[in-house]
């Protein structure tokens, strides 16, 4: 589990300190990664199972002394207290010119961390093409009209941040120029074809469940 075969210098996978993935899609993102960044707290487990990170980013208060020594040249300390380690990792990637970012391990442990990490995708979307893979599906933030590849029956949920109307095309329960005022209002929808479209000028996080 290494990132030695680098092909695309603009891509990166961030391993966050949530539950390590077991779904094949999420695991394949790690296996095929050209550049892997571990958040501070995630580094120990990733290294323990055989992973070799290209960078370890965070305040470095969780990584073991052994791994600090072993990967000393790959440590990038950031002790800024106004952001979490995931945000530090995303900013690190963009500073390295890596604008296509996949996050794994961002959910599945403490619920407050999970909600916070998901909501942060809306901020990251302004500086990178980013998504978050979980053991159940993929979160993708958008801020303009976007069409997604899909399949009939795919479970889809929309989570709006802010007070901007949105319209859906290709979902079983259509939304027409509506402002969603709570996260549940756009959840538990379903695709009716091989694609669907979300038309909005606001910030929306789209969740597609793996088949």
Does residue 3 have a pLDDT over 70? no
Q: What integer pLDDT is reported at residue 8 of this predicted model?
A: 66
Does residue 7 have a pLDDT over 70? no
Yes or no: say if 168 and 174 are a contact pair by the CB < 8 Å rule: yes
The first and second tokens of residue 71, run together, are 């990967």
The first and second tokens of residue 108, run together, are 């599945």
Handedness of CA 183, 184, 186, 187 (dihedral sign): positive
The answer to whether 11-136 and 143-209 have equal CATH topology is no
How would CATH label the architecture of 11-136? 3-Layer(aba) Sandwich (3.40)
Does residue 13 have a pLDDT over 60? yes
Q: State the Cα–Cα distance between residues 122 and 78, nearest whole angstrom.
A: 22
pTM: 0.92
Percent of the chain with pLDDT over 90: 88
pLDDT per position as a tens digit, 24-74: 999 999 999 999 999 988 999 999 999 999 999 998 888 999 999 999 999
As a whole number, the mean pLDDT across the chain is 94
Q: What integer pLDDT is reported at residue 61 of this predicted model?
A: 87
Q: What integer pLDDT is reported at residue 2 of this predicted model?
A: 44
Give me the CATH topology for the region 143-209: Jelly Rolls (2.60.120)
The pairing of beta strand 55-58 with beta strand 75-77: parallel
Q: What integer pLDDT is reported at residue 160 of this predicted model?
A: 96
Residue showing tokens 């604008």: 99
Q: State the Cα–Cα distance between residues 88 and 42, nearest whole angstrom.
A: 13
Q: What integer pLDDT is reported at residue 209 of this predicted model?
A: 98
Per-residue DSSP letter, 117: H
Dihedral through CA 162, CA 127, CA 15, CA 64, nearest 10?
A: -110
**Banded model confidence at residue 80, pLDDT cuts 50, 70, 90:** confident
Q: State the Cα–Cα distance between residues 206 and 160, nearest whole angstrom.
A: 9
Per-residue DSSP letter, 191: B
Would you kindly state where each structural domain of the chain is located, as residue ranges?
11-136, 143-209
pLDDT per position as a tens digit, 103-148: 999 999 899 999 999 999 999 999 999 999 999 999 999 999 999 9
Q: What integer pLDDT is reported at residue 138 of this predicted model?
A: 98
Q: What integer pLDDT is reported at residue 211 of this predicted model?
A: 85
Q: What integer pLDDT is reported at residue 81 of this predicted model?
A: 79
């Amino acid at each position: 589990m290494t990132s030695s075969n680098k092909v695309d210098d603009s891509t990166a996978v961030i391993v966050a300190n949530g539950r390590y993935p077991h779904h094949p899609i999420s695991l394949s993102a790690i296996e095929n990664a050209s550049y892997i960044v571990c958040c501070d707290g995630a580094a120990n487990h990733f290294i323990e199972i055989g992973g070799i990170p290209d960078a370890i980013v965070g305040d470095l208060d969780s990584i073991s002394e052994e791994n600090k020594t072993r990967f000393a040249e790959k440590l990038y300390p950031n002790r800024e207290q106004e952001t979490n380690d995931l945000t530090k990792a995303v900013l690190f990637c963009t500073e390295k010119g890596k604008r296509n970012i996949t996050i794994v391990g961002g959910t599945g442990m403490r619920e407050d961390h999970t909600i916070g990490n998901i909501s942060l995708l809306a901020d990251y979307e302004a500086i990178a093409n980013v998504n978050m893979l979980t053991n159940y599906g993929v979160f993708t933030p958008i801020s303009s009209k976007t069409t997604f590849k899909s399949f009939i029956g795919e479970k889809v949920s929309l989570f709006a941040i802010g007070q901007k109307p949105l319209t859906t095309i290709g979902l079983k329960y259509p939304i027409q120029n509506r402002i969603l005022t709570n996260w549940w209002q756009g959840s538990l929808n379903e695709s009716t074809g091989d694609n669907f479209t979300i038309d909005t000028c606001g910030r929306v996080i789209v969740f597609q469940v793996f088949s």
